[in-house]
Amino acid sequence: MLEAEIEEHSALVFELMLRIKAIHSQRLYLPEAGQAYPNLDLALASRSIDWGLIEQQLDAMVKHAVAMKRGMADAENLLRRFTWANAPHPLYKALAELGKSIKTLFLCRYPASEDLRREVNEGLNVVESWNAANGCILHGGGELATNWREDQEAGLLCLHVLQSSLVHINTLMIE
């Protein structure tokens, strides 16, 4: 039943390419309780994924995902709303369970796929190069050296102008 509902919302399917620093210390979550994998005991989490909670909150999860995709909501405000009280919102718990399942699938695929490892590494190199370039062009070595909000905003706006200029120059050079 859960697979049918996910298939119905297939326009929302996307794949995350995770960067996990301490991959050797990550835990795998079992799809169902009571399964035994003696060779994986050191890597297994103490409990399985709560599919019932995911199924119970699936409609709300899809509703919020569509709202974010259409720009009607942003992730930061949703997370703030879900963690407002001391007890997390049931939808937040369901999203965490879904995240555990996605992370477990990724951790199982990552060591076996050289293409996947290469793609993740190339993405990291692009981001690190972009951050290094920002550090070079932002005055003061890439750090905002003030606590004044207006000064921080001005510095970031200048950085955006410089970034846009670099992109434009690179585009002209490639043409």
87 φ, ψ (degrees, to nearest 5) = -90, 125
Supply the pLDDT for residue 100: 92
Q: How far is CA 40 from CA 43, 68, 114, 135, in A?
A: 5, 37, 22, 42
pTM over 0.75: no
Hey, which bits of the chain come out as E strands?
A: 28-30, 44-48
Strand partners, 30: 48
- What is the residue extent of each domain of the chain? 2-112, 114-174
Supply the pLDDT for residue 3: 55
Q: What is the mean pLDDT of residues 145-174?
A: 84
Q: Is the pLDDT assigned to residue 155 strictly greater than 90?
A: no
Q: Which amino acid is at 63?
A: K
The pLDDT-based confidence of 89 (bands split at 50, 70, 90) is: confident
